Amino acid sequence: MEETIFITIVAILIGSFLNVVIYRIPKNESIVFPASHCFSCNADLKAWDLIPVLSYLSTKGKCRYCGEGISLQYPIIELMNGLLYFLLYLQFGLSIQFLFVALLTSLLLAVSVIDLYHQIIPDEMVLFGIGLWFAYKVSSYFTNAQIGVVDSIAGFLLGGGILLLIAIVSKGGMGGGDIKLMGMLGLWLGWKYTLLTMFLSFFIGAIITLGLLALKLKGRKDFIPFGPFIAIAAFLMIIYGDIIFDAYLKLVFSF
């Protein structure tokens, strides 16, 4: 119980840092300097202003110094990262594998929000994911990683290659960031799970898009970022990959 609480608290703290990444990376700003400050009055924030979730609640979602409203995004991202880490912990326990997939999941969360806001997937975040994969492979002696290097490279080529082909055929229907993101995830997932991730991302995207159209929140000509759909599908494959793969095989053979 104490271990679960500790992991959730750490995850929420990391979620607070993700908010910095989400805000600054698209602006090509340092995620280290300057220190956290109010974007309205520019007041430097003290330690008690930066306590995840609790600081937001204590000030009723307003800046302590100027009274300007603070986006609800901040506590949502913090709590969401906590929830995602909790789900990963249930699957992997406290292990080196958990550490790596947790960091990858935080990366996917930040990428999704940036893509929603700015319709971009920053190259440096994809490169970070690739660097993280290299570190994961180095530690594979301890993590008992089941996906070999050849399988990972095949996943990279399939993930990036298929989306690149779609982009060429559709003349821009798929963004360059999506192609790079899927290629990076292919390294992590291997070729079988990469194919399933793409299939699942299109399925999730179709369902959500139809829902947005039905609710008239989006029009037929409105742009809907694809990165979040890839991220959701990849997370589901990370946790429930074996279950999804078995269900897919049963579905295929039933026909």
89, 115 Cβ separation under 8 angstroms: no
Q: Which parts of the chain sit beneath pLDDT 50?
A: none
pTM, entire model: 0.92
- Nearest to residue 82, comparing CAs of 148, 163, 128, 13? 13
111, 231 Cβ separation under 8 angstroms: yes
- Quick: pLDDT tens for 28-53: 888 888 778 777 787 777 777 778 89
74 phi and psi angles, rounded to 5 deg: -60, -55
* Residue 34: C-alpha distances to residues 38, 213, 249 (Å): 11, 41, 52
Integer-rounded Cα radius of gyration of the chain: 19
Which residues partner with 44 through β-bridges? 37
69 phi and psi angles, rounded to 5 deg: -65, 145
* Residue 234: C-alpha distances to residues 30, 131, 201 (Å): 28, 18, 8
pLDDT given for residue 143 in this prediction: 54
pLDDT given for residue 193 in this prediction: 94
